[in-house]
Structure 1
Amino acid sequence: MKPSLLELDLDADALLIMQRPNLQQKDGTLNEIVFRVSAKHLSMASPVFHRLIKGDFRESKPNDQGLLELRTSDWNAQALLVLLDIIHGHHSHVSKELSQEIVAHVALIAGNYNCVDIVKVVYHGWEARFGNDWGRNDFESNWPDTNNQGLSHFGKTQQFQLFIAWTFQSELVFNNLAANAILTASGPIETYLPLPRRVTYNLDRWRLVLLEQLFDKLSALADSPGT
């Protein structure tokens, strides 16, 4: 059992210090959050952490107590804690009812540290609940129903969902969202989330192909006799 929220390992030999989290002091000044962690767990889960721990980097130096200090910044604090709980095997501490926004932040951090596979252990549980308990998170629309061929506008919510589905390789959901993007986007398909450029490029390419086919059909109808 963890003795405190920020202690991830009873025999912690490292500190993960997150600067500029999504939290602020009451006076508006930025603070930092310190997680007591196991360097071994981090190194085994993430090749990025492994390089930081084993290499001579400015972001990883031992302190006066002999604890290795690893520094990171700007992540969502709740999402980082979820990822660290998963890495340290505290699956029972991970909520099964996270909002899609927090799951997207977990995906963002896991992608940065190249440890998406370890998150998949719990991801499928989150995805299974999205359709049933969606009204309790902070998004208005539902997780895409892969059995329903209806379309919805491709907006900010769908950008989060597309990123989640891409990161965790949820193929049916991704294909559903990709079809929505191609058929309903009013312009170039863009997202502020780090989807690979080839993904948005291919979606835009198919959108333009379909538009060209539509214009060709309309032109053919206009030129046909009797119209």
Structure 2
Amino acid sequence: MASTISEPVPEAVLHECDPYGDIILQLRHPNPPFAVWDDSIENATVKQEPSPYDNGPQRAANELLFQPSVTIIDYESAVVDPEPADDDLSPAVDAFAHLDGLDLDNQPTPIYGETAAIVDEPMPADTEPVPNDEAPSQDAPEPCPTEKHTPIKIDGEPPGIEIRVSSRHLILASSHFRRMLKGDWKEAKSLQLDGCLHIEETDWDADALRIVMDIIHGRFRRVPKVISLEMLAKIAVIVDYYECHEVVELFSSMWIQSLKHTVPASYSRNIILWMSISWVFQQPDLFRSTTIITTKNCRGTVQTMGLPIPDQIIFRINKKREDFIERSVTALHNLLVELRKGDNSCSFACSSILLGALIKQMDNRKLFLPRPVASFEGYSAAEVAEFVRTIYTPEWCSISKKSSQRARPHSCSLRNYVDPIISDYDASMDDVAIESYLRMPSLTLIS
């Protein structure tokens, strides 16, 4: 079906990073839904029933066993970033050397969220455009016309956003644009009548894209000192796509430092946002924390929501969770067989009591029949480990023929059988973080 032209619309919003820029970035379909989270997946927990053997503190602990946690951890107290050595400073520091005399502390500090707007400031005096009555120098680039562009309006499509940028800045800061503008991409050859290259981008958050472009072009007074977690995640996606990690490094470190205290202790959409942010901006301690939390608390396949997290990392997290639950469930069912046979029990009565107690508790937690199978949807490694830790042994007495010890408490306990099942739980959860960290690319490898 052919598109139809509707009534006139407002002109495209023009943001100038460089008034003499030779490239117009045309953002179509700005501000789409970002990192959509499916709550139904995480809310699909296995229904639990209270055990008749749970009493007092033990019962209270088990009642809380499968409740999702909403606590917030103080990341600063949990993970301490090592101080970098003087000779290990990033080359990005040199790119900001000319800011030494700039009083950034007295600049306004807007907080950017999903709908934050960036207001253009007047150009400093030393960067005023050359007046029309003065001839530009021989080496000065020919500026693009300053009039705003009016895109054709398609029914149902809002006006786009245009950003005037410099090819020299983009080539220097971004490997993506370096390949595009120096290679055989059609964008490198699509010179328009206005003398500019027009590059169309789609589905970026407009504020996040403008922030990244302002950083690339040295417009630091426009860059907010404080942003929301949502905006930081959107910026991380753009930085990863354009491969401009180094130029954004100082700002990303500042933003992360101001938001670290909000890292959640439970698996949620925010923990995946943090995992993506820590991967893109090379924060190994933060990345380790997010992978451990996810591996322990995820109740199914990890939702990446299209964020830049390597597939092999998500594969290892999913596999580590499934492997631990599989080992635990298998060990519990093997224990049922052992108790049923009674080969290693002290008496028929002892094995019968322990077998019945274990069956009832496993059945209450939906771990008996039907036996759970991979991918164990609705079960988390932390919940299974906590269940094993809190398995209850009934208290009973053996009848003795000796009159002085007529009723003697029986010493056999399920704890002797189940404790080895989770002895390596914490170590196994940490393994995936270490393995994932070893796959984290170094900034020195980004070209």
The TM-score range, normalised by the shorter chain, is: 0.7 to 0.9
1:182 maps to 295
Whether 1:218 aligns to 2:227 is: no
Shift of 1:29: 2.9
Q: For the Cα contact (< 8 Å) 1:12–1:38, is it kept in 2?
A: yes
Q: How does 1:12-31 map to 2 (within 5 A)?
A: 12-22=21-31, 29-31=157-159
- In 2, the alpha carbon distance for the partners of 1:19 and 1:74 equals 7
The alpha-carbon deviation at position 91 of structure 1 amounts to: 2.5
CA contact (8 A) 2:280 2:308 kept: no
- Within a 5 Å distance, the mapping from 1:32-181 to structure 2 comes to 32-60=160-188, 61-131=190-260, 142-144=262-264, 151-152=265-266, 154-181=267-294
- Whether 1:8 and 2:17 are equivalent positions in the alignment is yes
User: Which residue type is aligned with residue 196 of structure 2?
Assistant: L
- Give the number of equivalent residue pairs: 206
Distance in 2 (alpha carbons) for counterparts of 1:56 and 1:220? 63
How far the C-alpha of 1:70 sits from its partner, in A, is: 1.8
Q: Over the residues paired in the alignment, what is the CA RMSD in angstroms?
A: 2.3
Q: Structure 1 residue 131: deviation in Å?
A: 3.6
Unaligned runs of 5+ in 2: 1-12, 33-152, 340-344, 355-447
CA distance in 1: counterparts of 2:183 and 2:159, whole angstroms: 27
Q: TM-score, normalised by structure 1?
A: 0.81
* 1:186 maps to amino acid: R
Query: 1:33-67, CA deviations, whole angstroms, 9 ceiling, x for partnerless residues?
Result: 11111110001111211222233433342221212
Give, in whole Å, the separation in 1 of the partners of 2:232 and 2:175.
21
> How much has 1:220 moved relative to structure 2?
5.9
Cα drift, residue 103 of structure 1: 1.1
Question: Is the deviation greater in 194-203 or in 56-65?
Answer: 56-65
1:201 is aligned to 2:321: no
Give the distance between the partners of 2:303 and 2:192, measured in 1 at CA.
43
Query: For 1:90 and 1:5, how far apart are their aligned partners in 2?
Result: 16
Structure-2 separation of matches of 1:190 and 1:65: 44
- Answer whether contact 2:240 2:308 (CA < 8 A) is retained: no
Identity %: 30
CA distance in 2, matches of 1:84, 1:112: 13
Residues 181 and 187 of structure 2 are in contact (CA less than 8 Å); yes or no, is this contact kept in structure 1? no
Report the 3-state secondary structure (helix = DSSP H, G, I; strand = E; otherwise coil) of the residue aligned with 1:22: coil
**Contact between 2:171 and 2:181, CA under 8 Å: does it hold in 1?**
yes
Q: After the TM superposition, which of the residue ranges 112-121 and 49-58 deviates more from structure 2?
A: 49-58
- The unaligned stretches of length 5 or more in structure 1 are 133-141, 145-150
SS at match of 1:9: coil
CA contact (8 A) 2:14 2:164 kept: no
Helix, strand or coil: the match of 1:69?
Answer: strand
Equivalent position amino acid for 1:213 in 2: R
1:127-153 CA distance string (max 9 Å, x none): 111045xxxxxxxxx225xxxxxx41x
Partner Cα separation in structure 1 for residue 332 and residue 230 of structure 2: 41
Quick check: which one's strand share is greater? Answer: 1
Give the aligned residue type for 1:115.
Answer: C
Q: Which amino acid aligns with 2:329?
A: F
* Counterpart Cα distance in 2 of 1:175 and 1:101: 20
Alignment partners' CA distance in 1, 2:289 and 2:184: 45
SS at structure 1 position matched to 2:24: strand
Determine if contact 1:21/1:31 at 8 Å carries over to the other structure: no
Aligned partner of 1:139 in structure 2 is: none
Contact in 2 for aligned 1:14/1:67 (Cα 8 Å): yes
Q: Distance in 2 between matches of 1:31 and 1:22?
A: 12
Residues 176, 242 of structure 2: 8 Å contact kept: yes
Contact 1:13–1:36 (8 Å) recurs in 2? yes
The one-letter code of the counterpart of 2:310 is P
